[in-house]
Amino acid sequence: MSGKVRPTLSLPKIQREVNPRRKSIRTYRVDRHHKSSSLESSGFSPEFRPELQTDTRNFFDKRRRLSVSEMACLDKLPQNKTQAGVRISKLMAERGLCSRREADVYIERGWVYVDGQQVTQLGSRAQPSAKISLDKTAQTVQRRQVTILLNKPLGYVSGQPEPGCIPAVTLIRPENQYSPSFGGALFSLAHLKGLAPAGRLDVNSTGLLVLTQDGRVARQLVGETSDIEKEYLVRIEGTLDDMKLALLKHGLSLDGKPLKPAKVEPINADQLRFILNEGRKRQIRRMCELVGLRVVGLKRVRIGSVRLGRLPLGKWRYLSKDESF
C-alpha cells in the first residue's frame, strides 16, 4: 500500500508531554523500533532515503527531549481543565451590559475592565462578584445603536428568508419611515448594520415587530429569563366555551413542555385578547388548535410598555429615548 506510513505504537512505556500551544497534556506511546521495522515491512527502506531516515530520527529524538524536559512541569499544572470563575462575556450579558456577541467584540478591542484591569483575551473568566465596566468608547457605540418598531404586514417573515417570502427588514427604508421627527432620529444606512429582529412574528401575522442593533434590548425581549408581556388580538373560527377558555389560560403543553399561564379574554364572539410571557413558535395558533379553534387573524399590539399605537401598516419608526420595554 502506497502513501505515508502510520507509526506502529507498541512500546508500553508511556511518555507524557506538554503541548504549549493547546495547553493540554497528551500521552504518547513511542516505538523505538519504528524507524526500521515499520518502514522496511511496508516496502520502504530508509537507506534509500537518507533524508527520510534523518527526519524520522529527529522527530522521535525531539519528542523524547520534549517529554523528558517537560515532565518536571507536570505536577505544577492544574489537575482539571476547568478554569475558575465564569466567562466574562456571560457575566456581561447577565448584567445587561451588552449581548455575549457584543461582549466578545468589546473584549477584543480592549474596552472591558474587570476590577480595574483591562481584559483583551477572549474566553477570559472572572469571579461572579467581579466589578465589570466598559470603556467610554464602548458606551458611545451603545448610545449610537438604534431600535426600530415596525408594523409588519402579511407575507413578510421576521427572521431568515423563507421560500416565497421577504424579510421584514427590507421595509426599513427612508420612504417607509413614519413621522421622522418622532423618536428624534433620521434614517441612516449605518442603522441597517447588525439590525436584527428581537422576537418572531410569523408570516401570516401582522403588528408590532422590534428590530434592534442593541444586544441589551434583544436579551431583554427574547433572553432565557425574559418575562416581558406581549399582547395580541386574535380572530378565531369555532365555538369557545368556558372549558376551552380555561385551558387556553393554563393547562396546555407544546412539544412536551407545559406552557406558562397566559391571560386570555374574549373581546367579542370571534375575537380574543392574548397576553403571553413567552414566545414559542406559532404558540397562539397551536394553542387554539389544541382546543378545536382556528386562528384566521393575529395582530401583535404591545410589547412590554411599548404599543403599536397609530403606526400604519408597513411603516416603521425609531424607539424614542423616553420609551422602554
Q: What is the pLDDT of residue 182?
A: 60
User: What's the rounded mean pLDDT across residues 171-195?
Assistant: 82
Q: What is the pLDDT of residue 102?
A: 87
Q: How is the chain split among helix, strand and coil, in percent rounded to 5?
A: 30, 25, 45
Q: What is the pLDDT of residue 268?
A: 92
Q: What is the gyration radius of the CA atoms in the chain, in angstroms?
A: 30
Q: How far apart are CA 216 and CA 91, in angstroms?
A: 13
Q: At 180, is the pLDDT very low, low, confident or very high (cuts 50, 70, 90)?
A: low
User: What's the rounded mean pLDDT across residues 35-53?
Assistant: 47
Give catalytic status of residue 242 as yes or no: no
Question: In terms of pLDDT, which residue wins out, 32 or 158?
Answer: 158
Return left, alpha or beta for 74; rule: phi > 0 is left, psi -120 to 50 is alpha, else beta: alpha
Q: What is the pLDDT of residue 181?
A: 58
Q: What is the pLDDT of residue 104?
A: 92
Summarised one tens digit per residue, pLDDT across range 235-273 is: 999 999 999 999 999 999 999 999 999 999 999 989 999
Q: Yes or no: say if 89 and 78 are a contact pair by the CB < 8 Å rule.
A: no
Average per-residue pLDDT for the chain: 79
Residue 297 three-state SS: strand
Q: At 3, is the pLDDT very low, low, confident or very high (cuts 50, 70, 90)?
A: low
Q: How far apart are CA 213 and CA 198, in angstroms?
A: 9
Q: What is the pLDDT of residue 70?
A: 52
Q: What is the pLDDT of residue 83?
A: 59
Whether 283 has a pLDDT exceeding 60, the answer reads yes
**Partners of residue 236 on adjacent β-strands:** 295
Residue 242 three-state SS: helix
Instruction: Give the number of other Cβ atoms within 10 Å of residue 73's Cβ.
Output: 10
Site of grid cell 505515508: 4
Q: At 183, is the pLDDT very low, low, confident or very high (cuts 50, 70, 90)?
A: low
User: What's the rounded mean pLDDT across residues 2-9?
Assistant: 52
Q: What is the pLDDT of residue 28?
A: 41
Q: What is the pLDDT of residue 139?
A: 87
Q: What is the pLDDT of residue 35?
A: 45
Q: Which one of 31, 135, 202, 270 is the catalytic residue?
A: 202
Most confident of 6-15, 171-180, 302-311: 302-311
User: What's the rounded mean pLDDT across residues 281-293?
Assistant: 95
User: What's the rounded mean pLDDT across residues 16-21?
Assistant: 47
Burial of 208 (0-12, 13-18, 19+ CB in 10 A): buried
Whether 78 has a pLDDT exceeding 60, the answer reads no
User: What's the rounded mean pLDDT across residues 155-176?
Assistant: 86
Cell of 294: 382556528
For the chain, list the domains and their CATH numbers. Answer: 14-76 (no CATH), 86-139 (3.10.290.10), 144-318 (3.30.2350.10)
Contacts of residue 83, defined as CB under 8 A and 6 or more positions apart, other chains included, come to 125
Q: At 111, is the pLDDT very low, low, confident or very high (cuts 50, 70, 90)?
A: very high
Least confident of 148-152, 167-171, 176-180, 235-239: 176-180
Least confident of 93-107, 262-276, 299-313: 93-107
User: What's the rounded mean pLDDT across residues 177-199?
Assistant: 80
Whether 25 has a pLDDT exceeding 60, the answer reads no
Q: What is the pLDDT of residue 290?
A: 95
pTM for this predicted structure: 0.66
